[in-house]
Amino acid sequence: MSLAFDDYGRPYIILREQGSKKRMKGLEAYKSNILAAKAIANTLSSSLGPKGMDKMLVSADGDVSVTNDGATIVEKMEIQHPTAKLLVELSQSQDAEIGDGTTGVVVLAGKLLEQALTLLDKGIHPLKISDGFDRACDVAIKHLDQIAEEIDIQQNDHEALIQAACTALGSKVVSKRKRELGKIAVTAVLDVADLTRKDVNLDLIKIQTKTGGSVEDTRLISGILIDKDMSHPQMKKEVTDAKICLLTCPFEPPKPKTKHNINISNAEDYKKLYQQEQQYFVDMVKLVKNSGANIALCQWGFDDEANHLLLQNELPAVRWVSGTDVELIAMATGARIIPRFQEITPQKLGKAGSIREVQFGTSNERMLVIENCQCTKAVTILIRGGSQMIVDEAKRSIHDAICVIRNLIKDNRIVYGGGSAELACALQVLQYADEVSSVEQYAVRSFADALEGIPNCLADNCGLNPITSVAQAKSRQLAEKNPRIGIDCMELGTSDMKEQKIYETLSSKKQQIQLATQVVKMILKIDDVIAPDDY
Amino acid sequence: MDIVGNVLPQVLKDEATEDKGEMARLQSFVGAIAVADLVKTTLGPKGMDKILKPTGPGQEMSHITVTNDGATILKSMYVENPAAKILIEISKTQDEEVGDGTTTVAVLAGELLREGEKLIQKRIHPQHVIAGWRIARDIALKRLRDISTENDINSQEFHDDLVKIARTTLSSKLITSDRDYFADLCVNAVLRLKGSSNLDYIQIIKLPGGTIRDSYLDDGFILKKQITIGCKRRIENAKILVANTAMDYDKIKIYGTKVKVNSMDKVAEIEAAEKEKMKHKVDKILKYQPTVFVNRQLIYNYPEQLLADAGITVIEHADFEGMERVAAATGAEILSTFDAPERSEQILGHCDLIEEIMIGEEKMIKFSGCKKNEACTIVLRGASTHILDEVDRSIHDALCVLITTVKNRRVVWGGGNSEMQMAAACEEEAKKVQGKQAFAIEAFAKALRQIPTIICDNGGYDSAELIQNFKVELQKGNITYGLNMTDGTIGNMSELGVKECLRVKEQALLAASEAAELIMRVDNIVKCAPRKRERA
């Protein structure tokens, strides 16, 4: 423990309650941090690639989830080690920014740290290592830009997009239906994409899950599915040519926000008030009806009397529609969200081809489908599956696929997967290493080794001999000057990833390398960990 | 510690555990197979029941359940093993989706994993096993769909099919001795729905007393309520007004109202006004000229008296489901406001006769000759509540299967026929597939064949002998053959009339293989530290 003495030889305290703190310094701290981060990377590494395995995670309350998605795994592991937590954030920022490649980024960081450990043992200063990594990273990124290819996303019925989605889905439990699901994801994204601005608002794609059936039964609904039913059991279950009135005010007498009291002091007042109350309901329904609406969707509840008046006026209505659904419906049907009954005008109504109630299975679960909306800019993917775990995992997988497609629409440059891009960068970095005259040379070389770790890991997961297959791929890349040679994970008989159609987005790959390098640099800069003892 | 001997820092929280590779897989297999074995003995017509006893203190905890229904057994079990939880989950989904085959699905998933475990021990990579299973599943599904037949919905054959399916479903339950009786009962109930799939309209009333045989299907609709005292007990040609409105204390719904008076006279005035308001409401109701008034909410004495004076029979405090059923059966609209008496023709429900009847010891109200004939009631009688509960579950299963059949219409032969055919299809395929996957396809076939094997074992028959003979019969081209569980022989299912619904089999196959795949893919189990619970 760090204990300091003053001029008179009396000890004084630097850290408050120093005795109860755990402290690690210097090399010990580096090693402990690296080992902790590596432990996480090791857990994730077996999930990488098309033959990667899943993890089963049991939450504190005993709920089970099975997943292959890196970000979800690390999030649900409830990691407590401070440095390991940095990797959790790393995976999550990749998820937030790109949406895919969350496993790869952690594995790469792990490989980099592994290399850093051997460099530390050689006695190289951590800052030199991180400088070297930094320079190597720049080289790799530049090289990625060079080997990237632009693809025509329109061509051949968006074949390229479907292939990219399939690559993302290939490692998941739903991989059997990757083609179908990929198509669903591509159609969904293209439906809502703004191709001129090259932007996709993912909020417009609603992913609804429902257990039952099988993953094959997953389908795309060009419209919105809401988990609600009509407010009155006897209302019409189907409305065609719907004119939707979207309300955020309850069918109830108004509740002013200021606190008030209405004092009733005689019978006259009482009667008057009663009449007024009745009048409220009549007026509300009349206002909706007069606008020409034939269905009302409301974010709030209905009073029994209002509910019945709606039925009597043949105005189907839905209550307690969630806020996000209200916004989605507004966007899809062109409806304006109306906060006061007085403000209902025919122009503010949304239009949809049909609204109907659908029922699932034997239990009494019904949902409303809004189809053929005026501005078909919202779609729903309804995911089915044999159990909650499968449905949840399918949802995560489809989310990944959607993100990949969005990234391709934003930036249509791709690199090839199967570890080929990493190998190409590794070769480039290795070449550059010899040009570096200082100590950093070793770090740069190690960076190349770390990049090779990714194809290595892929080959390992596929049951191939990692060393031979990586060595083969490397020599072929050099000999044929072909940066598309990777690991043939699916044993299709070719190592050219262009032929295998394994597409990954350039933005994702770049982000992976940059983020991983950044986190490793950060971890390498920590030389002192002070934590409460019971931590 | 890692292999080199470095002490690894603790990454996860205290008490959290992480199992990797073989250990994780072993845990999954053990858990899933254990759950499957547990429900295995309830499979088939000779399956046994289980007693479920809740643990913990309290009166309600002493209530036990006797059941044969896989979903009920699995739902009530508390398991910690995550793989076992997945099996329970698929069984629940099967219950929600098709209502039957809940045991089959868990057993099939368990058997798949049992076979899968053997392959893993042979050093075949789980991904190869999964690849094989996927091929096998598609083949099995194709064969299953190929062997299914479809009949026109209005034909007599279809009706016969329904009865046969109901009988097959019920044969594994407690009421197997009366299955013909109940099969007819269920089919009639389902056919009344005329293709709608809303089970709500079939009401099941359980009354202890009598024997199971005394149960019957009532074409009318029975409400478990009593007619208010002082009203007529029998109304012919009833015009029914169904309402959901406050008839007790009808408060004004404007926010913030408060009565503040300065003299006793004023209190009396307001009271009078309140009374008048209620009278006004009753008057409005009377304008519809109903002869029966059913309200969801309580009716206080004053309005009740007013209504009774007008000669209207009052039924108060009907529950919401009951209300919906009354409305559906009699074609009434559920009212909450009463300002449109001119529409009374459309609004009022109608039925030929309403009377108070006694079933066992209880008084109930029966609506017969209703305008819309969709709703009906099944009155179950039996010696004890345990029996009634189990009969209720059995009838529910049968109804679900029938509704699914009405929707899907395709049927397959029962008695293990479909499983054996699927297994045969997989084995044929296995001969053509190159690579290790073939082992997995064979394993899939073996797992499928386990279902009829278990059914035999549960019946106390020589399963090895029977299944082999069964295989031979199928090989000979007798594709309608199956297990005759009454005699313990192989018989012609078309003679015995054992049929099953395709949708149930399909769903079981899909869900079981999906779940087995899910569990097979796991190579790492991370358990978080359990949440600390404060003792209240």
Strand order in the sheet with B202-208: B202-208, B376-382, B216-218
In the stretch 376-405 of chain A, residues with CB closer than 8 A to chain B read 385-390, 393
Q: Are A371 and B106 in contact (CB under 8 A)?
A: no
Catalytic, B103? Answer yes
Check CB contact under 8 Å for A267 and B126.
no
Which residue did the predictor score with more confidence, B268 or B320? B268
**A87-96, B351-360, B462-471: range with lowest mean pLDDT:** B351-360
Backbone angles phi, psi at A377, to 5 degrees: -95, 25
Above 50 in pLDDT, residue B282? yes
Q: Which of residues 500-529 of A touch B (CB under 8 A)?
A: none
Q: Given this model, what pLDDT does residue B205 score?
A: 85
pLDDT tier for residue B227 given thresholds of 50, 70 and 90? confident
Give a three-class secondary structure readout of B70-119: HHHHHHHCCCCCHHHHHHHHHHHHHHHHCCCCHHHHHHHHHHHHHHHHHH
Contact A68, B518 (CB under 8 A): no
Known catalytic residue at A103: yes
What confidence tens digit (pLDDT) does each residue in B485-529 have? 888 888 888 888 888 899 899 889 988 998 898 899 888 888 888
Mean pLDDT in residue range B166-185? 85
pLDDT of A309 above 50: yes
Residue B381 phi/psi, 5-degree rounding, is -120, 155
CA-CA distance, B209 to B443, in Å (whole number)?
50
Mean pLDDT across the stretch B53-75?
78
Give B228 or B39, the one with higher predicted confidence.
B39
The total of other beta-carbon atoms located within 10 Å of residue B485's CB is: 24
Considering Cα of A46, then A47, then A50, then A53, what sign does the dihedral take?
positive
Cβ–Cβ < 8 Å for B109, A228: no
What letters, b where the CB count within 10 A reaches 16 and e where it falls short, cover B209-225? eeebeebebbebbbbbb
Q: Average pLDDT in the A454-467 region?
A: 88
HSE, CB side, 13 Å, CA atoms: give it for residue B461. Answer: 25
Mean pLDDT, residues A77-100 taken together: 86
Distance from C-alpha of A155 to C-alpha of B152, rounded to nearest angstrom: 46
Residue-by-residue DSSP string for A152-194: -SSHHHHHHHHHHHHHHHTTSGGGGGHHHHHHHHHHHHHHHEE
CB contact under 8 A, A80 and B13: yes
Q: How far apart, in Å, do the first and last CA atoms of chain A sit?
A: 17
Q: Select which of A54, A69, A325, A488 is catalytic.
A: A69
Q: What local confidence, expressed as pLDDT, does residue A534 receive?
A: 56
The minimal CB distance from B531 to the residues A61, A173, A359 is found for A61
**Min distance A444 CA to chain B CA atoms (Å):** 26
Q: What is the rounded distance in angstroms from the CA atom of residue B392 to the CA atom of residue B226?
A: 24
C-alpha span between A508 and B327 (Å, rounded): 58
- Rounded distance, CA A237 to CA A288, Å? 19
Task: Please tell me which of A20-34, A115-129, B163-177 the model is most confident about, judged by mean pLDDT.
Answer: A115-129
Q: CA of B406 to nearest chain A CA: how many angstroms apart? A: 12
> Which amino acid is it at B459?
G
Residue B3 has pLDDT above 60, yes or no: no
Residues of A in contact with B277 (CB under 8 A): 270-271, 274
Q: What is the pLDDT of residues A231-283, one digit of tens each?
A: 877 788 888 888 888 888 888 877 777 777 777 777 788 788 888 888 888 88
How far is it, in rounded angstroms, from Cα A447 to Cα A456? Answer: 14
Write the CA distances from B254 to A93, A276, A288, B244, B267, integer angstroms. 50, 9, 21, 19, 20
Q: DSSP string spanning A208-267?
A: EEEEBS-GGG-EEESEEEES--BSSTTS-SEEEEEEEEEE-S-BS----SS---EEE-SH
DSSP class per residue in A378-436: -EEEEEEESSHHHHHHHHHHHHHHHHHHHHHHH--EEEETTTHHHHHHHHHHHHHHTT-
Report the relative pairing of strands B410-413 and B149-150 from DSSP bridges: antiparallel
pLDDT at res. B197: 67
DSSP string covering A68-116: --HHHHHHHTTB--HHHHHHHHHHHHHHHHTSS-HHHHHHHHHHHHHHH
Mean pLDDT in residue range B464-473: 90
Nearest CA in chain A to B259: A264
The 10s digit of each residue's pLDDT in A408-423 is 888 888 898 888 999 9
Do A41 and A134 touch, CB atoms closer than 8 A? no
Mean pLDDT along residues A338-365: 80
For B187-323, strand residue ranges (E) read 202-208, 216-218, 221-223, 234-243, 257-259, 292-295, 313-315
Beta pairing partners, A65? A57
pLDDT for A3: 65
* Three-state secondary-structure class, residue A511: helix
Structure confidence at residue B114 (pLDDT): 94
> Is A392 among the residues known to form the active site?
no
* CA distance to A160, A531, B467, per residue, from A152 (Å): 7, 53, 58
Cβ atoms of B483 and B414 within 8 Å: the answer is: no
Model pLDDT for residues A154-169, shown as the tens digit of each residue: 777 788 888 888 888 8
Report the half-sphere exposure of A352 (CA within 13 A, side-chain side): 35
- Between residues A469 and B372, which one has the greater pLDDT? A469
Write down the pLDDT at residue A242: 86
CB contact under 8 A, B82 and A56: yes
**Residue pair A241/A372 in contact by the 8 Å Cβ criterion:** no
C-alpha distances (whole Å) from A390 to each of B126, B144, B187, B511 are 18, 23, 34, 10
Q: How confident is the model at residue B377 (pLDDT cuts 50, 70, 90)?
A: confident
For residue B221, name the pLDDT band (cuts at 50, 70, 90).
confident
Residue contacts between A and B (CB atoms, under 8 Å): 253
Full 3-state SS string of A357-376: EEEECCCCEEEEEEEEECCC
Q: How high is the mean pLDDT of chain A?
A: 85
Q: B528 φ, ψ to 5°?
A: -75, 160
The residue with tokens 């790799």 is A140
Report the 10 Å Cβ neighbour count for B256. Answer: 13
Instruction: Tell me which of B65, B67, B72, B103 is the catalytic residue.
Output: B103
Distance from CA of A437 to the nearest CA of B (A): 33
Is the predicted pLDDT of residue A139 greater than 90, yes or no? yes
Count how many residues are written for chain B: 536
CA distance A95 to A100: 6
Contact A309 B337 (CB under 8 A): yes
Nearest CA in chain A to B403: A362
- What single-letter DSSP state applies at residue B530? P
Average pLDDT, chain B: 84
Would you state the pLDDT for residue A450? 93
Nearest to B251 by CA among A464, A277, A340: A277
> How large is the angle between the packed helices A102-121 and A440-461, nearest 10 degrees?
130
pLDDT tens-place string over residues A507-520: 999 999 999 999 99
CA distance A266 to chain B (A): 6
Tell me the shortest Cα–Cα distance from A433 to chain B, in angstroms: 30
3-state secondary structure labels for all residues of B392-406: HHHHHHHHHHHHHHH
Chain CA centroid to CA B74, Å: 14
What does DSSP say about strands A238-247 and A350-360: parallel, antiparallel, or unpaired?
antiparallel
B1 pLDDT more than 50? no
d(CA A120, CA A33): 13
**Nearest CB partner across the interface for B257, out of A264, A266, A307:** A264
Q: Which of B210, B204, B203, B205 has its CA nearest to residue B360?
A: B210
- Whether the predicted pLDDT of A111 surpasses 80: yes
Q: Which DSSP state fits B12?
A: B
CB atoms within 10 A of CB B175: 22
* Chain B residues lying within 8 Å of A180, measured CB to CB: none
Question: How far, in Å, CA of A314 to CA of B17, rounded?
Answer: 59
Residue, of A310 and B370, whose pLDDT is higher: A310
Per-residue pLDDT at B450 exceeds 70:
yes
